[in-house]
Amino acid sequence: MNKVIRPKSISKIIILAIVLFVPGFLYLAMENLGTHEYVKLPVYGEKKLSGEMRRVMGRERPDTIFHTLSPLTFTNWDDKQVPFLDNDTTVSVAHLFYTKDAAFSKIALDYMDKLATKFGSKSGVHFYSISVDPSDDASALAPIAKQYENMEARQWHIVGNPSRDIFHYAQQEMLLNAAKDTQDSTRFLIDDQVILIDGKHRIRGFYPMSQHSEMKRLEDEIKVQLVEEVRDNPMRVEKK
C-alpha cells in the first residue's frame, strides 16, 4: 500500500527547504546584485576621466583621475628634514601659519596641539603646521615648537623652508590662499583652513578654524578617513 503524504508533512518539508535554501540564495543574490555602502568623504579639486575602465565590486566603472598633492620636503623646527606626504603617511592634517603672527597663527597652533594629542597614538596620522614665511628657518620655528610637548611622539611637525615655492604650492596643490601682504612686508595673507589629505594624497576636507563646529567635524572625519584607509589598504596600514 502506498504511503499517503499528509498536508502537514508537506508543510514541514516546505518549511525545511526554505530554512536550508533561502538564506544561501539571498546571500548569493546580495553578493552578485547588491552594493556595499560605506561612509566616504568627498574628494576635492579638479577631476577628469582617464578614458579607461576599472572594476569595482565586480562592476566596470569609468576611471577618474583626481587632484593630488605632490610630495615635497620641509625643514622641521629641530633642523631635521621632514618629507611631506611620504609613503609612510596614511592620513595628513595640515594648515598654514607664520611665526610673526601672534593672532590667528597662535590659535591655529594651539588647536593643532589639541588635535595631535587626541590622535597622536594613531601612527597613521601626521600633522603639519607649515610656515609661509621664507625667513622662518629652524631658529625661528624652535621657540614656537618648544611651547608644546612631545612633538615627535605625536607626529606633529612645525616646518618651514620647503623645497619648492610655498605660495605656488599652497595655491595650486593645497588649494589654499597664500600671498604676501603688499601693504606690510611682515604679514602674509593665508586661509584659516585645515585640510585633510588621504593616503593617495587627495584632499578630503576643508575645515575653517574660526568655526568650532567645523573643528568637531574634522575630528569625526579623521576617524572616517582612517576607516577608509584600513578598508582599502589593509596590508599597507598593518605595516605601520
Residue 106 has a pLDDT of 94
Taking alpha carbons only, the member of 27, 93, 67, 48 closest to residue 226 is: 93
Give the pLDDT score at 65.
87
pLDDT < 50 positions in the chain: 1, 31, 34-36, 237-240
The pLDDT of residue 240 is 46
Distance linking the first and last C-alpha atoms of the chain: 74
Query: Given this model, what pLDDT does residue 35 score?
Result: 47
CA distance linking residue 183 with residue 162, whole number of Å: 25
For residue 121, what pLDDT is reported?
Answer: 82
pLDDT at residue 213, as a whole number: 94
Place of cell 508543510: 11
Q: Which DSSP string do the residues of 117-141 spell out, in sequence order?
A: HHHTT-TTEEEEEEE--TT--HHHH
